[in-house]
Amino acid sequence: MAKRSSTLETTLLALEMLRRIPRAPRSITAGELHAQLVASGFERDLRTIQRQLDMLSTHLGIERDDGSAPYRYRWLPHARPLAIPHLSPQESLLLKLAEEHLRPLLPAHLMKSMEGFFVQARHNLEPDGNARLEREWPSKIRTVATSQPLLPPKIVPGVLETVSEALYHNHWLRLDYKNAAGRRTTVEVMPLGLAQQGPRLYLVCRYRGFDNERSLALHRILSAGQASTIPFDRPRDFDLAQYDADGRFRFGEGALVRLRFRIDRRTGHHLRETPLSKDQTVTECDGDRLEIAATVVDSAMLDQWLKGFGDAVDGVQKEAVA
């Protein structure tokens, strides 16, 4: 009975060690791992941990960097991960879709911490696996553009990772930024939000010494670094959802207007199905036209949208809403 108990404890220790060994490029020493295990209630000496690490690195996809002492251990980038419990085909599909869509919006360290799950999900959906229906699903769905598709702009390597980490930890950023007019400045900013608009990513921030928000295109950031490792207090009066609702990503200032315009019946039919606002009204007019009235946020994007209909739209009126 004592032998069985000892075997179980050794197995549990090995599993806990495997769970705590990071995937490359991160790594961990035997001493660091020993301290984590002791803090979690595993009372083993350092030499035991070293022996276990040597054994695991011999039989599994774990690399031992013995270039200098103390040795460092890491899962190889493409090693098949250990997962308990095993991911189901449905969970694998969900993780694969999440990886594709969330990569530009999550801090780099969070994506890295999930890499083992992503690798297992991809492995489970490989052609020689049993999850045929789940593997076929991504080819059955598509998010389509509502305007002319554009390729995403190139972002300087390392900028997205630095910005997302500073945003996550509430750290000030120092940016070398070149605006659309080509003017280049070095600024310190308080990162408040990250938003994706079509193929572009924008950082919502406040310049040091100012209390208003600005949206900076990530592809115009030439370099980014932390200006301080001391966290700032996130402003209580800022809400990213409200910032978006105010039309700030559409080049507006949050002013509500009662919009009225007439539109060709066939051109404007989609507005019956996808209204501009909850209070939108549609009135039949003479001459095969519709009159649309809706309360919306005034913005440059709204004006551009209306102009895009050309002669199909006329009689545009805006009345400020108190």
Q: Higher-confidence residue: 96 or 165?
A: 165
**CA distances to 94, 103, 129, 176 from 100, in Å:** 10, 6, 21, 29
Mean pLDDT of 125-145: 77
pLDDT, residue 250, reads: 80
Task: Note whether residue 69 is domain-resident.
Answer: yes
Task: Note whether residue 135 is domain-resident.
Answer: yes
113 pLDDT more than 90 = no
Task: Note whether residue 262 is domain-resident.
Answer: yes
Please say which residue of 225, 245, 265 terminates a domain: 245
Tokens of 31: 């001493």
Calculate ∠ Cα 157-148-141, nearest 5°. 80
Per mean pLDDT, which range of 73-82, 140-149, 274-283 is the poorest? 73-82
Per mean pLDDT, which range of 46-50, 185-189, 290-294, 305-309 is the poorest? 46-50
Q: How far apart are the first and last CA of the chain?
A: 79
Beta carbons within 10 angstroms of residue 161's beta carbon: 16
CATH number of the domain enclosing 22 = 1.10.10
5 pLDDT more than 60 = no
Q: Do residues 225 and 174 both lie within one domain? A: yes
Residue-range definition of the domain harbouring residue 204: 159-245
Task: Note whether residue 210 is domain-resident.
Answer: yes
In whole angstroms, give the CA distance from residue 45 to residue 319.
75
Tokens of 147: 């305007």
- The count of structural domains within the chain is 4
Tokens of 148: 């002319």
Task: Note whether residue 148 is domain-resident.
Answer: no
pLDDT, residue 201, reads: 92
Give the DSSP per-residue string, 230-274.
SPPPPPTT--HHHHHHTTGGGTEEEEEEEEEEEEEHHHHTHHHHS
Q: Do residues 192 and 236 both lie within one domain? A: yes
Q: Do residues 259 and 220 both lie within one domain? A: no
Q: Do residues 214 and 255 both lie within one domain? A: no
Total residue length of the chain: 322
Please say which residue of 183, 217, 245 terminates a domain: 245
CATH number of the domain enclosing 305 = 3.30.70.260
25 pLDDT more than 90 = no
Q: Do residues 103 and 175 both lie within one domain? A: no
Task: Note whether residue 288 is domain-resident.
Answer: yes
Strand ranges (E), the chain: 28-29, 62-65, 72-75, 173-178, 184-197, 200-207, 214-217, 221-226, 252-264, 281-285, 289-299, 313-320
Q: List all residues 6 or more positions away from 59 whose beta carbon is below 8 Å from its beta carbon.
A: none
Q: Higher-confidence residue: 280 or 129?
A: 280
Please say which residue of 214, 245, 276 terminates a domain: 245
Q: Do residues 228 and 255 both lie within one domain? A: no
Give how far the C-alpha of residue 214 lies from the chain's centroid of Cα atoms, to the nearest Å.
20
Q: List all residues 6 or more positions away from 228 whose beta carbon is below 8 Å from its beta carbon.
A: 171, 172
Task: Note whether residue 208 is domain-resident.
Answer: yes
Highest mean pLDDT among 10-14, 31-35, 36-40, 138-142: 31-35
Q: Do residues 16 and 62 both lie within one domain? A: yes
Task: Note whether residue 153 is domain-resident.
Answer: no
What percent of the chain stands above pLDDT 70?
92
pLDDT, residue 287, reads: 79
318 falls in which pLDDT band (50, 70, 90)? very high
